[in-house]
Structure 1
Amino acid sequence: MGEGKRRNWKSLVFFSVLLIFIIAGCSTSQETHQLGREKEQEFDQGSRMKFSSLSEQKIVDFAKLSKVWGVVKYYHPKVVSGDVNWDYELFRVMPSILEENSDVNSILYEWVHSLGSKSISKELDVQYQFSEDSIQLSPSTDWSKDEEYLGTDLSLELSKLLDSNISEREYAYVSFKDDSFFPSMGNENPYSNMNFDDTGYRLLGLFRYWNIIEYYYPYKDVIGEDWDRVLLEFIPKMVDGSDYDSYFMTLAELTTRIHDSHAYLVGKDREPITDYFGTYRVPVNFIEINNQIVINKVINKCGLEVGDIVLKVGDKNIDELLEDRRKYISQSREDTASLFFLNLFRTEQKNTDVTVIRQGNKRNISAVGSQQDINFLVDTKSQAMESGEIYYINAGLLKDGEIDKIMKKWWNTKGLIVDLRNYPSSILTYELAKYLIASEKEFATVSVPNRAIPGEFYFLEPLVSGKPQETNAVYKGKVVILINEHTASQGEFTTMSLRNTENSIVLGRPSAGTDGDIRIIMLPGKIKTAISGLGIFNPDKNPTQRIGLQPDIRLDPTIEGIMEGRDEYIERAVELIKGGY
């Protein structure tokens, strides 16, 4: 099959799967036969490694161990095939690495070399060969060629291994099923009975996560962190603790370092990381205006009022509170993240002192917390406005098939307002686009992992939306798309599609900068986390992650408007449509 045809065929497969890209992928199913790694039992009851501190040199040595372990995990045929329990092999080599004055390079060489290299093939299937301009991300494996760092023998061993080019990965720790682009981490053992004072298993949790990001995270190049330094930083943090809470919170802090609002952490008893901030939440919504946290909605009567500027909650001023939450809740951008917004005002006690500025005066309020769910939903229903001249669509409240009924009934309106400040309840990316865009137009480019070369991501053909064939039968009115910091993931993907409408304007504030399907990761101790698994880019391949989509017209709500109960986004959209832009 020619490269162009092969790419187009793959794009069709991807297109059908991408319609549900926000849903976490299913774990790869296993065959009934038992893999070699599943027969191992030596460390089922523990790694037999317990220590509470490391010298500076040993931190460096364990970081090297993690990096070498990661290369072998994803590149060696015996590990990829499931023949070897690579977690348990880590526990076997750890004691030698821990010894003072040990020859770490020689130990690691003998360890890797013992697996053998006869089965390593250097042939790369043409299906997984991509031109340089198609490569979005390349493996960060240059360190493996550094003989000063690894020694000659280990460096040569790893260099050979990096040419293994294995495309069949059904039983690998990160697997691919059939022709799927989606990587699955479902073959990782969650070690539900882990003892949390077991240093070996604690480090396994760190090494597993660090290497998944190293080889299977499409946005590794924009996280804004030196990922090697993160490893060095977290080894002593992981070693220092000896209980569940210290392990869980260290992992939470680690997940924030990829700066991805898709990241979350759920504990062994299915408790989210946010429970650690308290079981009560002050039942309000807030918005950031001019670097101030302003209450913009009171869900239940609690003592706070719309328009209050929050200065302090309990014994922490607002800046301390923001910093504390950001340490454990991942954010693509500092002004975004659904988990962050929902849990800023979590408290241990039902009643909490809150200091605010209310109508220019500083006041101390005894706020009453609640244990009910809180959301930032814009609850304005889809409706006709301005005597039927304009129709407002709330994407978060749509039912399946409703968009077809709306467009047929309100086809001749002067304008549409498409509100994407909520997470879309129905997939509008293609369904609404076919009414607005006269012919198919590129709106996004997607990068996917090269299953044969861990660490490499390549671009698929650009995605298109709009009518499949050119026609004049499209909506002729103006279209205003509303976005803000809550517009994330599918909301951003939808915005990228609909902004190709000829008479459209994107109004509001930059979006969350969090796009791509969610990949689930199980860590030792039955702890679950997630990452954005595929890369989403503009058609010109410029990134959206951590940047967000930029509005054509920026609009920041005002405290005055909030206190008057006005939705300034909708008001401004109506003005734009009536004025003809």
Structure 2
Amino acid sequence: MKKLLFLFSFIFISNISLAQNSTNLDFEIVENEKAKNWKEMGQGQYKVHFDQNIKQHGETSASIESIGETVNFKALGYHIPADFGGKKIKLTGFIKTENIVNGWAGLWMRIDPQVAFDNMKSRGIKGTTDWKKYEVELNLSNQAETVVIGGLLVGSGKMWVDNLEVTIDGFPLDKAPQKKLTKAQKDKEFDQGSLITFSNLDNNQIQNLDLLGRIWGFLKYYHPEVGKGNYNWDYELFRILPKYKDSKTNLDRDNILSNWIEGLGEVIVCKSCKETSEDAILKPDLDWIKNSNMSTALKDKLQYIRKNRHQGNHYYIEMTPNVGNPIFKNEGSYKDMPYKDTGFRLLALYRYWNMIQYFFPNRHLIDKDWNTCLTEYIPQFINVKNDLEYELAFLKIIADIKDTHANLSGGKYKIQEQRGKFYPPMHVRFIENKLVVDAYFNEETKASIGLEVGDIITHINGKPVSKIVENIHDFYPASNQPTRLRDISFDILRSTNNTLDISVKRDGKVFDKTLKLFEQKEIEGYYRWYKREKNGSSFKMLDNNIGYITLKNIKKEDVKVIRKDFKDTKGIIVDIRNYPSAFMPFTLGSFFTSKYAPFVKFTNGSVNNPGAFTYGKDLSIPPKEKFYKGKVVVLVNEISQSQAEYTAMAFRAGDNVTLVGSTTAGADGNVSRISLPGGLMTMISGIGVYYPDGTETQRIGIVPDIEVLPTVKGIKEGRDEILEKAIEIINKD
């Protein structure tokens, strides 16, 4: 739910493999004006320079400087293989800054895969400062594969960073403690490839592979010896596959499976294992065991494991403290493994299907029967011919779970290449099911482009927009259709060419034109979701004594001023058609309620009973002595996602609150990240989010009390019809 964390988690999966004694942490080795083995990442207009005039140590420092109006963040990063042990890893370095505003400068460190992260956000450097030493320290985990370190600039200004050092428990890298490997981590047999091939895949093989995928996943999460980390479960799949895939009869197949399970070790009787609670909102879906054509003996063996399953700390899965969303651990990304390896592609499918089967809190909301998906996708994953087909196959199955949080966030290189690097110079949006120009990134370019706000684009390169949407629909994961159209609108005018031929409807007349496209970095003011305001305030007074708050710029310290300045207003409008820049459900929500106001409850999965989900306790907004007694109107739409939806739920619990707008993105709650073979990354909504009465929010979104949708006419006239309705509600006696 933190956008910057989300960006750092998925951008930057380069292929650097460095010996500990050949690091370039002081930027001294510069080749072709770039510091060796350092990589850039980020969004916005920035310049990275390796400065030999201003430095803290040696001959060179690195500098990052904002050079335009469009800023977000820029970072330098360096990969270090985590082939060391220890408890703590510390990054130290020196930073100098100049005029840092609307953000911060700092060091950053990330331990992959998804172990720990710190970017100094809470203690970032602002303004102008001289060289000073800073540090970032994180807990090390045995599952760490890579450590990424560096410096970053968020917002505007300039920073220099120099003289970085990494220590492990106080020791330099070359003297770090030796890494203690589990049995699973010591298994390297298939590091160079699975050696799995298929020929003439027939229906019987597909059904057998479907069964294997289910049993492989069941054993992964249920078998005690696998849960202890005694097996590299990915590689165990490659060990059984050669013999299994060529089995001719069900008897042969079942004997192979039975011998495999027996070889894992004895499963002792579990005295702490409990049956699934009757009030569980989701129960483990294991009917496939009894409904399969396996032998009775094999079914009994699996049922015995179910009753005596692994308990406690698990090598592959845990739940976050307090919140309870799943953390998928020790999942190799195999980012260097080419798509051509059939075994790793099949592994990817099995891994994802079972993660959803046992730890997706909203699997009951999937439109299709999830139990049919293995059979559907096994031929697709086995038969892909290139990287693009592999990425598209994954994007499609991800879209099947109907979760806006679930997209292909990392490794989507060929898809991005196919969509193109050229973008339109104006923002478009689906309004009344029409693709409409709703804003210019830079008003000064309007005359040269020849399009007006309110123009409707009907055809792109001769194809109707409606037909294009139909063709790409399945490759845009979303909880609901308004959110899918939101995401499609960001890409529909992208191209591999720098022009598009479009047909445009304006005032009932249709005309054709060639639209010039640009690389994103060339478009001043470019944005996707909503326009950000440089130095923008989060609150202001509207006419007729109405307070207005936008959460896109909100800061924690603003709330004290808002409480004071807005306490006697006629009404307050809170705009959450954005992503909140600070966590406001309790901080600001307590201003709107006179009593403890229950607003949400979660469902959480179970490591001890994979596939079961149960309700937690209701959460409430606590009141404060001075609460707001006027009308509050909260604005939402399809841009309101995740933390924005959670915040809307919290505010709605207040005394006199009305939600206005349209259905939100339908992806509330904390996310859980998933690493997949080939360096692909995705996420799921990791907890089920419900109103206290049990009403669901996933897919449905936060439904407004009063629905108001923008119109093409309103856009053309430059009106904000949702805001107008809010003002009308407050002014009404």
TM-score (norm 2): 0.72
Per-residue deviation, 1:122: 4.5
Q: 2:552 aligns with which of 396, 402, 407?
A: 396
Q: Which residue of 2 aligns with 1:286?
A: 428
* 1:335 aligned residue (476, 482, 485): 482
- Structure 1, residues 84-138: CA drift from partner, whole Å, max 9, x if none? 111111111112222152432232222112213334524237xxx87433x2211
Tell me which residue corresponds to 1:15: none
Q: Secondary structure of the equivalent of 1:349?
A: coil
Of the three residues 668, 676, 679, the one matched with 1:526 is: 679
Q: Is the 8 A contact 2:324 2:604 kept in 1?
A: yes
Deviates more, 1:160-169 or 1:70-79: 160-169
Residue correspondence of structure 1 range 408-423 to structure 2 within 5 A: 408-423=564-579
How far apart, in 1, do the equivalents of 2:659 and 2:708 lie? Answer: 10
8 Å contact 1:295–1:309 — kept in the other structure?
yes
Answer whether contact 2:267 2:308 (CA < 8 A) is retained: no
Aligned mates of 2:540, 2:232 — CA distance in 1: 62
CA distance in 1 between counterparts of 2:262 and 2:451 reads: 65
Q: Deviations over 1:21-68 (max 9, x none)?
A: 996894382274211111112211111112255101111110110000
Secondary structure of the 2:564 match is helix
Q: Which amino acid in structure 2 is aligned with residue 191 of structure 1?
A: Y
Which residue type is aligned with residue 289 of structure 1?
I
Match in the other structure for 2:614: 458
Residue 391 of structure 2 contacts residue 414 of structure 2 at CA under 8 Å; is this kept in 1? no
State the partner residue of 2:510: 362
Partner of 2:327, secondary structure, is coil
Structure 2 counterpart of 1:449, which letter? G
| Corresponding letter in the other structure for 1:143 | W
> Cα–Cα, structure 1 residues 557 and 195, in superposed 2: closer, same or farther, change >3 Å?
closer
State the one-letter code of the partner of 1:510. Answer: T
Equivalents in 1 of 2:304, 2:668: separation in Å?
Answer: 35
The match for 1:175 is: 318
CA distance in 1, matches of 2:542, 2:549: 14
Please tell me whether residue 156 in structure 1 is matched to residue 316 in structure 2. Answer: no
Using the TM superposition, give the Cα deviation of residue 535 of structure 1 relative to its aligned residue in structure 2, in angstroms.
1.0
2:21 is matched with: none
Q: Give 1 or 2: higher strand fraction.
A: 2
The alignment status of 1:140 with 2:285, answered yes or no, reads yes
| Rg larger in structure | 2
Matched, 1:54 2:201: yes
1:512 aligns with 2:665: yes
Corresponding position of 1:256: 399
| In 1: Cα distance, 2:340 partner to 2:3 partner | 40
Ranked by relative contact order (alpha carbons within 8 Å, sequence separation 6 or more), the top structure is 1
The one-letter code sitting in structure 1 at the alignment partner of 2:332 is N
Tell me which residue corresponds to 2:267.
118
1:143 deviates by 1.5
- Structure 2 residue matching 1:336: 3-state secondary structure: helix
Q: Report the Cα distance in structure 2 between the residues aligned to 1:255 and 1:280, rounded to whole angstroms.
A: 26
Give the letter aligned to residue 51 of structure 1. Answer: F
User: Does the CA-based 8 Å contact 2:586-2:621 persist in structure 1?
Assistant: yes
The alpha-carbon distance between structure 1 residues 451 and 180, as it changes in their structure 2 partners (threshold 3 A), is: farther
1:481 and 2:629 correspond: no
Distance 1:466 1:369, change over 3 A: farther
Look up the equivalent residue of 2:390 and give its one-letter code: Y
Cα displacement (A) at 1:207: 0.5
**Distance in 1 separating the partners of 2:615 and 2:266:** 31
Please state whether the residue corresponding to 1:295 is helix, strand or coil. strand
Which residue does 2:437 correspond to in 1? 295
Structure 1 pair 343–57 and aligned structure 2 pair: CA distance change class (3 A): same
Give the distance between the partners of 2:254 and 2:464, measured in 1 at CA. Answer: 49
1:175 is paired with a residue whose SS is strand
Q: Which range moves more in the overlay, 158-167 or 546-555? A: 158-167
Structure 2 Cα separation of the partners of residues 400 and 521 of structure 1: 31
Residue 692 of structure 2: aligned partner: 539
1:562 to 715, 727, 730: 715
Deviation at 1:549, TM superposition (A): 1.4
Q: What's the offset of the Cα at 1:274?
A: 4.2
Q: Which has the higher helix share?
A: 1
**In structure 1, the residue corresponding to 2:674 is in which secondary structure?**
strand
Contact 1:167 1:451 in 2 (8 A): yes
* Aligned residue identity for 2:304: K
Question: Which deviates more from structure 2 when the two are superposed, residues 312-321 or residues 348-357?
Answer: 312-321
Range with greater deviation from structure 2 (527-536 or 105-114): 105-114
Report how far residue 180 of structure 1 moved: 6.8
Match of 1:95 among 242, 248, 258: 242
The aligned amino acid for 1:287 is: R
Q: 1:53 to 1:262 in 2, by over 3 A?
A: farther
Secondary structure at the residue paired with 2:713?
helix
Contact 1:52 1:240 survives alignment (8 Å): no
What amino acid maps onto 1:43 in structure 2?
Answer: F
The yes-or-no answer on 1:66 pairing with 2:66 is no
Q: What is aligned with 2:592?
A: 436
Q: Structure 2: which amino acid aligns with 1:123?
A: S
Q: Secondary structure at the match of 2:418?
A: helix
Identify unmatched segments of 5+ residues in structure 1. 1-17
SS at match of 2:324: coil
Instruction: Note if 1:106 corresponds to 2:275.
Output: no
Query: Is the CA contact (8 Å cut-off) linking 2:276 and 2:612 kept in structure 1?
Result: no
Larger mean Cα displacement after TM superposition, 407-416 or 397-406: 397-406
- Could you tell me whether the CA contact under 8 Å between 1:46 and 1:195 is conserved in 2? no
Which secondary structure state, in structure 2, belongs to the residue aligned with residue 294 of structure 1?
A: strand
TM alignment of 1:192-211, pairs within 5 A? 192-211=335-354
**CA–CA separation in structure 2 for the residues paired with 1:51 and 1:27:** 36
Q: 1 CA distance for matches of 2:327 and 2:438?
A: 40
For residues 177 and 413 of structure 1, the distance between their equivalents in structure 2, rounded to whole angstroms, comes to 41
Matched-pair contact (CA < 8 Å) for 1:393–1:419 = yes
In structure 1, C-alpha distance between the alignment counterparts of 2:699 and 2:239, rounded to whole Å? 40
Q: Within 1, Cα distance between the matches of 2:601 and 2:655?
A: 20
Moved more, 384-393 or 559-568: 384-393
**Partner SS state of residue 552, structure 2:** helix
Change (3 A) 1:309 1:120: farther
Counterpart amino acid of residue 181 in structure 1:
G
* Letter of the structure 2 residue corresponding to residue 343 of structure 1: D
Structure 2 contact 669–689 (Cα < 8 Å) conserved:
yes
Q: Which structure 2 residues correspond to residues 69-84 of structure 1 after superposition, within 5 A? A: 69-84=216-231
How far off its partner does 1:386 sit? 4.2
Displacement of 1:243 in angstroms is 2.7
Alpha-carbon distance, 1:288 to partner? 2.9
- Alignment partner, residue 30 of structure 1: 142
* Contact 1:130–1:458 (Cα < 8 Å) also in 2: no
> Which letter maps to 1:354?
I
Asked if structure 1 preserves the Cα contact closer than 8 Å seen for 2:223 and 2:309, the reply is no
Name the structure 2 match of 1:239: 382
Q: Do the aligned partners of residues 500 and 100 (structure 1) sit closer, same or farther apart at CA in structure 2, a change above 3 Å counting? A: same
Supply the AA of the counterpart residue of 2:266. S
Contact 1:265 1:273 survives alignment (8 Å): no
How many Å separate the matches in 2 of 1:386 and 1:247?
52
